[in-house]
């Protein structure tokens, strides 16, 4: 389906001004990383636009799911309605992570052995703290998790995405991850490429900012001393060409804090950006104890790899 516009008419100018010059995008998502937001020219350097399709690429166990989880919480904290379609981490696994992030319970506190004594009281305390967060000031919060049973097909993921849009009113969709779909007659790379194309269409048509995690191909994943590039995504060239932005986790520069092993330092690489400058390196620190991500200050990153 196409929509034709004669862009050299007065009406077209006024329509463009109403959508792009005078009106502001009410669903800009701040990423939590100053340099990433500053690279988003189309939203006034405030964050991700409501119709964008973004790929988060990385090697196995490089932090893709953690980054998607961070962005989904950013959406919830700003009063939006995010949904996570998960094909890898279970809903209960995501609950444990989020509950340890937003309550006084640590990640390792949420083990059955720690609830043997005064279990009912602890469960009630956990419930109350989660509900307090959800009903918090200034806006109520929701995070919807759609857990796939087995390996879903492309059509099943698309059907779920539209259902979440129509029935739950989601504003942001996070898909984890592209290579875990049922490929049918296609190989995994072809299927991931096809899913990517459909996610782009969904985001653009629905004005639902969509972020999908993608593995790197086997060669790039194995080269732990080489910085990844967007052409390393496991799929065809349409993987990177579909996306408004491609951001990569640099597995070649991971470094744990020797004094605090729960802190990991690495870089986010904004390798493609249709909405502003690209080839930007963002030094970040991940606190696996609290689930917090933050951009390092310039003087901090001077001694990083």
- Choose from 114-123, 137-146, 191-200 the range with maximum mean pLDDT: 191-200
pLDDT of 24 above 60: no
Rg of the chain over Cα atoms, rounded to whole angstroms, equals 20
Look at residues 188, 182, 172, 222 and name the one whose alpha carbon lies nearest to residue 61.
222
Mean pLDDT, the chain, rounded, equals: 91
Which regions of the chain does DSSP assign to beta strands (E)? Answer: 53-58, 82-86, 144-147, 172-176, 209-215, 245-249, 255-257, 260-273, 280-287, 292-295
Q: What is the pLDDT of residue 25?
A: 59
| 84, 145 Cβ separation under 8 angstroms | yes
pLDDT in tens, 50-70: 999 999 999 988 899 999 999
SS3 at position 31: coil
| Cα–chain center distance at 115 | 32
Q: What is the pLDDT of residue 39?
A: 98
**Does position 21 have pLDDT exceeding 80, yes or no?**
no
CB 25 within 8 A of CB 49: yes
**Alpha-carbon distance 44 to 106, whole Å?**
37
Q: Would you state the CATH architecture of domain 35-222+229-301?
A: 3-Layer(aba) Sandwich (3.40)
Cβ-in-10-Å burial (0-12, 13-18, 19+) of 227 comes to middle
Q: How far is CA 103 from CA 74, 91, 285, in A?
A: 16, 18, 21
Domain spans, the chain: 35-222+229-301
User: Please, are residues 86 and 160 in contact by the beta-carbon 8 Å criterion?
Assistant: no
CB burial of residue 187 (10 Å; 0-12, 13-18, 19+):
exposed
Assess contact for 208 and 170: CB atoms under 8 A.
Answer: yes
Residue range 66-111, pLDDT digits in tens = 999 999 999 999 999 999 999 988 999 999 999 999 999 999 899 9
**Choice between 291 and 232, residue whose per-residue pLDDT is larger:** 232
Q: Is residue 164 within a helix (H) or strand (E), and if so which, with residue range?
A: none
Whole-structure pTM value: 0.91
pLDDT of residue 1: 62
**Residue 118: pLDDT over 90:** no
Do you find a cis peptide bond into 254, omega within 30 degrees of 0?
no
How many Å apart are CA 167 and CA 286, to the nearest integer? Answer: 34
């Amino acid at each position: 389906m196409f929509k034709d516009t004669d862009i050299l008419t007065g009406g077209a100018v006024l329509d463009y001004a109403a959508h792009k010059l005078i009106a502001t995008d009410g669903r800009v998502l701040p990423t939590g990383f100053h340099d990433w937001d500053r690279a988003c020219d189309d939203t006034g350097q405030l964050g991700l636009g409501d119709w964008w399709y973004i790929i988060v690429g990385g090697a196995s166990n490089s932090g893709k799911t953690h980054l998607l989880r961070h962005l989904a919480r950013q959406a919830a904290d700003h009063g939006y309605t995010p949904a996570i379609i998960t094909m890898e981490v279970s809903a209960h696994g995501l609950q444990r992570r989020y509950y340890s992030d937003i309550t006084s319970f640590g990640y390792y506190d949420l083990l059955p052995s720690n609830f043997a004594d005064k279990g009912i009281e602890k469960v009630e305390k956990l419930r109350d703290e989660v509900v307090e967060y959800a009903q918090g000031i200034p806006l109520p919060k929701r995070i919807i998790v759609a857990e796939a049973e087995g390996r879903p097909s492309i059509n099943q993921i698309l059907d779920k995405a539209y259902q979440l849009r129509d029935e739950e009113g989601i504003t942001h969709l996070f898909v984890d991850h592209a290579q875990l779909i049922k490929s049918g007659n296609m190989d995994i790379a072809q299927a991931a490429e096809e899913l990517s194309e459909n996610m782009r269409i969904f985001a653009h048509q629905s004005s639902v900012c969509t972020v999908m995690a993608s593995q790197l191909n086997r060669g790039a994943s194995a080269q732990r001393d080489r910085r990844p590039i967007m052409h390393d995504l496991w799929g065809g060239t349409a993987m990177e060409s579909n996306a408004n932005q491609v951001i990569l986790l640099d597995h070649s520069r991971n470094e744990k804090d020797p004094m605090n092993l729960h802190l990991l330092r690495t870089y986010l690489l904004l390798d493609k950006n249709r909405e502003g400058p690209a080839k930007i390196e963002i030094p970040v620190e991940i606190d696996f104890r609290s689930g917090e991500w933050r951009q390092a200050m310039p003087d901090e990153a001077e001694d990083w790899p």
